[in-house]
């Protein structure tokens, strides 16, 4: 914004992070779907229904990995951003778990999605720190410290969950 311009990298990375943030909201709406429908609330979950929300969540949580591939296809020097892809197995597990859990068990999926979003963001931005454009800036020096958050994300896990 300070330069009054947008570049493709910023738009793609922002979309990837935003999609996973929206996935957190999707889990919350999915969890409340039956209650909202019973009291006449017109939420997106009620409009899409059970299967539609499962599909929406899976798109929201998995599309960021396709966006990483798109980013690299557009600008091959961003290949270190593939570091974000190390979280794909967690995303696949969450995509499966949403359809298997009910009620308060869905809180585990919601907290898992929050942790995934944090890990994905840290990995993506750490990878970005190793691209040629970032290596030439002082910002690169801060990225190794961000890796600490990747491994300390379990601190966000509420007591009594898996």
Which letter, b or e, does each residue of 31-40 get, where b requires 16 or more Cβ atoms within 10 Å of its Cβ? Answer: bebeebbeee
d(CA 15, CA 71): 11
Q: What is the tens place of the pLDDT at every residue in 36-88?
A: 999 999 999 999 999 999 999 999 999 999 999 999 999 898 898 899 999 99
**C-alpha to C-alpha distance for 80 and 129, rounded to whole angstroms:** 8
pLDDT digits 0-9 by tens, 6-41: 788 888 988 999 999 999 999 999 999 999 999 999
Structure tokens at 121: 């963001």
Neighbours of 25 (CB within 10 A): 15
Which tokens hold the place of 33?
Answer: 């779907």
Nearest alpha-carbon partner for 22 in 67, 59, 69, 70: 59
pLDDT digits 0-9 by tens, 123-146: 888 888 777 766 555 444 445 555
The CA distance from 68 to 122, in Å, is 14
Whole-number Å distance between alpha carbons of 104 and 35: 13
Residues ≥6 apart with Cβ < 8 Å to 108:
97, 101, 161, 162
The predicted model scores a pTM of: 0.79
Q: State the average pLDDT over residues 101-109.
A: 90
Q: Radius of gyration over alpha carbons of the chain, in Å?
A: 17
Which among 7, 46, 17 has a CA at the least distance from the CA of 29? 46
Q: How far apart are CA 54 and CA 130, in angstroms?
A: 35
């Amino acid at each position: 914004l300070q330069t009054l311009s947008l570049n493709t990298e910023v738009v793609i990375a922002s979309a990837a992070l935003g999609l996973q943030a929206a996935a957190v909201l999707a889990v919350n709406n999915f969890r409340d779907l039956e209650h909202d429908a019973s009291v006449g609330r017109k939420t997106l979950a009620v409009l899409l229904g059970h299967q539609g929300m499962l599909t929406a969540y899976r798109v929201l949580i998995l599309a960021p990995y396709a966006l990483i591939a798109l980013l690299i296809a557009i600008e091959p020097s961003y290949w270190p951003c593939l570091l974000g892809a190390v979280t794909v197995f967690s995303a696949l597990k969450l995509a499966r778990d949403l359809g298997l859990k009910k009620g308060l068990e869905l809180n585990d999926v919601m907290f898992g999605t929050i942790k995934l979003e944090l890990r994905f963001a840290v990995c993506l931005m750490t990878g970005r720190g190793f691209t040629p454009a970032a290596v030439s800036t002082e910002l690169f020096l801060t990225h190794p410290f961000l890796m600490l958050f990747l491994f300390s994300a379990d601190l966000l896990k509420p007591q009594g969950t898996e």
